[in-house]
Amino acid sequence: MKKILLLLLVFQLSSCDVLQEVIGDGGLSNAQIGEALKQALYQGAEKAVREFSQDPSFLTDGSDVKIPPEALEVIRTLSSVPVVKEYANRFTEKVTTATTDAVQASLPIFRQAINELTFADAYDILMRGENDAATQYLEGKTYQPLYQEFSAITKDNLQNVGALEEWGKIADVYNKLPFKEKVNPDFNGFISDLALKSIFQRIEREEEGIRNNVAMRTTDLMKKVFAKQDKGGQGGGLLDQF
């Protein structure tokens, strides 16, 4: 029995030595790979929220997120009418304010989902080998709780800043115009959905940048882990570490 225990102890010590040697020679542990993916997601989520909050073109044609097409047509039509142009301008400003305020509430939800990323999740992300695999993971984990939190805050904000009232004025005038289809879009749900899509688009761009641009890897661990990806192809070099 003592001999068996001694052999097991020697085997364990040898395994530890081998593991340490692999890491010392540039190998990576599962924990390191998982932590690097977390850091990449943190970076993407925080940057997306920050940029989104500062983006003044939230409702313009060039932005990722737009108000419903029906509503945009309403605003375009009425903006040419001096009497109601002010309504349209105020509405656009208030919807922007209401939505960008709500974006800040998404960070704690993102952080929780990222913290819960497991070795199995990391392996799945790497196996898929897509430039947006980590973003897809995050969206799958967070979209529903984000939507619930986001839409609740946006609804309150839309009411608080008077955006819904402004829309009521705009819709009332527009619906009296001849040859125009009546409009009554659900702004809260529609805006919430598109705003979240915009956030994930931004996270996806950041993830792709981290995977393909060394300069965007802002931590030593990200540089070390994604360098393995660079050598082995998309995910290939990293998968050899598992």
Q: Which pLDDT belongs to residue 25?
A: 40
Mean pLDDT across the chain: 74
Query: Domain coordinates of the chain in residue numbers?
Result: 34-235
**139 or 59: which leads in pLDDT:** 139
Reduce the DSSP state of residue 223 to 3 states and report it. Answer: helix
What is the C-alpha separation between 87 and 110, in angstroms, rounded?
36
Average pLDDT over residues 29-40: 91
Taking the complete model, does pTM exceed 0.85, yes or no? Answer: no
What are 122-132's pLDDT values in tens digits?
888 877 778 89
Reduce the DSSP state of residue 105 to 3 states and report it. Answer: coil
Angle ∠(172,177,179) on CA atoms, nearest 5 = 130
Question: Among all chains, which residue has been given the structure tokens 């509430």?
Answer: 105
Per DSSP, helices labelled H in 80-186 are: 82-103, 106-115, 119-128, 133-160, 163-175
What are 75-84's pLDDT values in tens digits?
666 666 665 6
Cα→Cα distances 4→9, 17, 18, 160, 199, Å: 9, 20, 21, 73, 57
145-168 per-residue burial string, b: 16 or more CB within 10 A, e: under 16: ebbebbbebbbebbeebebbebbe
pLDDT at 67 over 90: no
Q: Residues 238, 225: contact at Cβ < 8 Å?
A: yes
Which range (99-108, 127-136, 172-181, 192-201) has the least confidence? 172-181
What is the C-alpha separation between 93 and 162, in angstroms, rounded?
10
Q: At 13, is the pLDDT very low, low, confident or very high (cuts 50, 70, 90)?
A: very low
State both tokens at 31: 């924990």
Which range (2-11, 55-64, 104-113, 147-156) has the least confidence? 2-11
What are 87-115's pLDDT values in tens digits?
667 777 777 777 777 787 888 999 999 99
